[in-house]
Amino acid sequence: MNFDHFALAYDRRGLSEPGNLLVHNYPESWATVYKGFDLGKADPVRRAGERALTGFSWQQIEHYV
């Protein structure tokens, strides 16, 4: 799809033991900041992904957030 970077995040919620998965190819310095400040909670793309049942384009993010 010709993206420079990607991230795939999964947060298992509601179970007795939470599980998280983060697969990405971002520079490690950015990943450290992202995780350190817990930016996932404010990330509009992640928030849209939690609400969408299908894929979406950049233009549709506003609909989900």
Q: How many other CB atoms are there within 10 angstroms of residue 52's CB atom?
A: 13
pTM, rounded to two decimals:
0.64
Range 1-26 average pLDDT: 80
Domain ranges of the chain: 7-64
Q: How confident is the model at residue 63 (pLDDT cuts 50, 70, 90)?
A: very high
27-55 tens-digit pLDDT: 999 989 988 998 888 889 888 988 898 98
Exposure of 49 in the CB half-sphere (CA atoms within 13 A): 12
Q: Exposed, middle or buried by CB within 10 Å (0-12, 13-18, 19+), for 42?
A: exposed
Query: What CA–CA distance (Å, rounded) separates 62 from 22?
Result: 24
Query: What CA–CA distance (Å, rounded) separates 59 from 37?
Result: 26
